[in-house]
Every structure is written in C-alpha cells, then in structure tokens.
Amino acid sequence: MSFSFRSLIAIAATSAVVVLTATGIALAIDYAAPQPLQPGAQAPITKGAGKDKIRIAYMPPATEFNYYIAIGEGLKAAAAEKGNVETFMLAPQSGADINGQMGMIQDVITQGVDAIVLSTHDEAAAAPLVKQAVDKGISVVIVNSDIANFPTPVHAVVGYSQRKGTHKIGEYLLERLGDKSVKAAVIEGQPGYHSTERVGGFLDAVKGKPNVDIVASIPGGWNVEGGNTAGMDLLQGHPDVDVIFAANDYMIMGAQLAAKSLGRNDLMLLGNDGDTAALEEINKGTVTATVNTTPFVMGQIALQVAIDVLDGKFAGGFVETPTTIVDKANVLPVLQAADKLYPKPSIQY
C-alpha cells in the first residue's frame, strides 16, 4: 500500500507544508515560523556569495543510533531535489566519543564547507569549534535540539520541543488511566540537557496527579543495553511498577526485553523518538506508545533552513519540528510510509 508524504505530514500534525509534484515527490519544504533565540545566541545572517555548488556537512554525535541516520536521510533527500547541494555525513561510531566528534568538526572546518548541520552530546565541548566555524563564515545549524542559548552564537536551531513532546506522552498516560492509579518509573538518558528536558516534560505532565506515583528514576545510557539493565533493576527493585517511561526508544526497547524475561507483559511502556524498530514493537503490542519526532522530516527541514541561511533568507531562531503520539491505533500508516523511515521496516505493511 502506498502512502503519500502529504499523509505523513497530516499524521504528524505539523505546520510544515510540503510542495509536491504529481508523483508525490517533495521539491521544497516550508517550516514553522522561527522563534527567537535568547539574547546573544544568534549569529548574524548575511547573504553569501552565490555558488554553483554548495557543500553541507551533517555531523551527528554517532552512527550507532539509527535516529541520526534517519535525520541524515531526510537531509540527503532534500538536497537531491535542489540539484546544486552536496551533503556528506561525518560522525564517530559511539555517542560517547566526544573527542572523536570534536576532531571531525575541526577537520570539516579546514575543508571550507559552506554549512554544518550539527548535533552533539556535549554542547560545551563543541562551542569553541562552532565559534571557529562561524568566524570563518560557515553557517552552523544545530539539529535535533531546542536549545535557545547554545553556548556560542549559531545561525539556527532545528528540532522538536523535547519538553513539550514528552509532556504529550504524559498526557497520553493520564488519558489512558482514567480513574486507575499506577506506580511509574523513569529511565533517563545520560545526564545533560536532553535527558533533563525529556524527563522533565513527562514529570511535568503527571506532577500532582494523585493516580500516578513515580517510584524511581534511573539512567539507561540512551541505548538498548542500558535500558535493559535499568528495566531489570527497576522491575526487580519495584515489582509493583505498572508503567515505565524512557527518554528514548532504545531504552524503552531494552526495558521491554527486561519485562519479557521477567514475564511482565502487563506493563505500559512509553518511549520517545519514533525509531523504526520501536514503531514495529508498537505494532506488535510489545511497546505501548512513543513520541514520534519524525526525524526524516526534521532532516528535510534542517536542510532547507541551512540553504535559507546561506541565501540570507532566514530570519534567525529556533524552528520547531513536528511531534505526535503513536500507539497501536495509528502506527500502521506511519510504517506504511517506509520511504520516510530509516532503517526501513523489517516487513512491508
């Protein structure tokens, strides 16, 4: 069954507008009106000299996470439609290899690219290099973030509102519960802004609700193995837990494996990202729901913003990308839009 990109955008409930050919191929993408960054965080935007070919480096924190590859696929797809834009990805294998990413950023700066689309697990470490890039006239777009005050001025920030996204899944939990009371546990990511915001959004939603008791919150390292370990610790230490929320899909999938090994098929498992594997688990009924942050669409928007910065057409600020809650009731059409997912689903839906 085919599923148009227009339908995917409708599912995502985004303000982005896609211009399509008769065959449904995206030619250009509009985006939500940028929100100003905090004072001092905005790098000046001036129109650069017109070039026959534009080179843009996409620099995620790691290749070990399919989520970042999905953003890159969106960038690549949008660049292909431009005709004069070359993109390439450069990243370490491990998200913990901060020094490796810093060395790669330095290398890219010396290459003289026109723009860098950057996501990093350590904003403080990246800041001096980002400043070097901006000072050399390279446009810098931070992606998969909603940081309004990156430690040094940047040209744009593109990403979903992390606190708002996980607030939605907290609201989803409350709607599903009705009058029922539950004990809930949280699996955090590595300490830092992203984990704080994602966990904070969920906790904000359930704060003060008498039917949700948060009994524990422990780190899971952003990966399946860490989520499995955290899930096992939580379920063995708190066998009365009914709900686990994890700050990303990898960790909730790890928690699901722990639950399975303990014979706990009665849990509500809530994630965040919209990873393909998690979407398939939702379709199977082994994971309850996730915040689908549409990484492919995020990549398309980031590419368009980078081009607009280079053309002097971008007003500056943070561009919010879409999020929607996906559960078993609405996951199928998302899986059917396989050309907007990375990796592709394991089967055709």
- pLDDT tens, residue by residue, 133-168: 999 999 999 999 999 999 999 999 999 999 999 999
Q: Domain segments of the chain: what residues?
A: 17-160+294-321, 162-292
Mean pLDDT of all residues in 321-333: 97
pLDDT digits (tens, 9 = 90+) for 267-287: 999 999 999 999 999 999 999
pTM score, whole prediction: 0.86
Residue 246 — very low, low, confident or very high, per pLDDT cuts 50/70/90?
very high
Per-chain mean pLDDT for the chain: 91
Residue 2's pLDDT is: 31
Mean pLDDT of all residues in 53-74: 95
Q: Print the SS3 string covering the chain.
A: CCCCHHHHHHHHCCCCCEEECCCCCEEEECCCCCECCCCCCECCCCCCCCCCCEEEEEECCCCCCHHHHHHHHHHHHHHHHHCCEEEEECCCCCCCCHHHHHHHHHHHHHHCCCEEEECCCCHHHHHHHHHHHHHCCCEEEEECCCCCCCCCCECEEEECCHHHHHHHHHHHHHHHHCCCCEEEEEEECCCCHHHHHHHHHHHHHHCCCCCEEEEEEEECCCCHHHHHHHHHHHHHHCCCCCEEEECCHHHHHHHHHHHHHCCCCCCEEEEEECCHHHHHHHHHCCCCEEEECCHHHHHHHHHHHHHHHHCCCCCCEEEECCCEEEECCCHHHHHHCHHHCCCCCCCCC
CATH number of 162-292: 3.40.50.2300
Mean pLDDT of all residues in 109-117: 95
Residue 50's pLDDT is: 74
Residue 58's pLDDT is: 98
Residue 39's pLDDT is: 95
Tell whether domain 17-160+294-321 is in CATH 1.20.1070.10.
no
- pLDDT of 47 higher than 90: no
Fold: same for 17-160+294-321 and 162-292: yes
